[in-house]
């Protein structure tokens, strides 16, 4: 038998069997449509959110974000992002420390670019930086801040923020220092 002489063979099961099969398939499709609609309705009702029960806690004695004092820093903190490599915390602010800088550094996203930015803060003479905090604002932006010059117990600090390709970043940078004044 040659491959050129092959003829397609049709197997006929009869019209009655074909009708029964067609109605069975149709019934299954209708049942699947009902289940799909029920599933969509269940998901839609579960995803409806109500803002009526949400309460925003009031911070007593603070009118604006800039009115926070060092002692109120915990109450005034807007940081809701979990600690990770995207945030930088060095040192600790003490009782005699003052916030010398609150810098918001924002770089918009650009396709195919890797943003590499340096932010330098130079404090007044006779200051010692005791606490550096760079906190990412918003969702993850795949950026990483690092100290490349100065830092703790210096009067200056240079932070490098390296972003991921195609992403921007948005950081709040807080710098606290002790001011050592002497009359001698």
Confidence of residue 79 (pLDDT cuts 50, 70, 90): very low
Taken as a whole, the chain contains a residue count of 184
Edge to edge, the sheet with strand 144-150 lists 116-122, 156-162, 144-150
Place of tokens 């340096």: 118
At 181, is the pLDDT very low, low, confident or very high (cuts 50, 70, 90)? confident
Q: What is the pLDDT of residue 154?
A: 93
Round to whole Å and give the CA distance between 29 and 20: 14
Residue 39 belongs to what H/E stretch? helix 15-46
Residue whose C-alpha is closest to residue 177's, from 147, 148, 150: 150
Query: For residue 154, how far is the Cα from the chain centroid?
Result: 31
The strand order across the sheet containing 127-136 reads 88-91, 127-136, 169-179, 98-107
Measured CA distances, 138 to 18, 123, 168, 172, 184 (Å): 60, 28, 11, 11, 47
| Three-state secondary structure call for residue 79 | coil
| Site of tokens 């992002």 | 81
- What is the per-residue pLDDT for 131? 96
Please state the rounded mean pLDDT for residues 50-67.
Answer: 47
Mean pLDDT of the region 85-107 = 91
């Amino acid at each position: 038998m040659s491959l050129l002489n092959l003829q397609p063979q049709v197997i006929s099961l009869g019209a009655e069997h074909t009708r029964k099969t067609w109605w069975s398939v149709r019934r299954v499709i209708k049942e699947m449509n009902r289940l799909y609609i029920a599933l969509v309705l269940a998901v839609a009702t579960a995803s409806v959110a109500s803002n009526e029960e949400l309460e925003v806690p009031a911070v007593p004695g603070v009118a604006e974000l800039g009115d926070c004092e060092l002692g109120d820093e915990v109450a005034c903190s807007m940081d809701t992002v979990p600690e990770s490599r995207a945030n930088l915390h060095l040192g600790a602010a003490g009782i005699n420390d003052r916030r010398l800088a609150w810098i918001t550094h924002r770089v918009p996203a650009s396709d195919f670019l890797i943003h590499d930015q340096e932010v330098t803060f130079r404090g007044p003479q006779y200051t010692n930086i005791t606490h550096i905090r760079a906190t990412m604002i918003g969702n993850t932006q795949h950026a990483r801040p690092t100290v490349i010059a100065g830092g703790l117990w210096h009067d200056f600090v240079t932070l490098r923020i390296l972003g991921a390709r195609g992403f921007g970043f948005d950081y709040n940078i807080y710098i606290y220092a002790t001011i050592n004044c002497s009359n001698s």
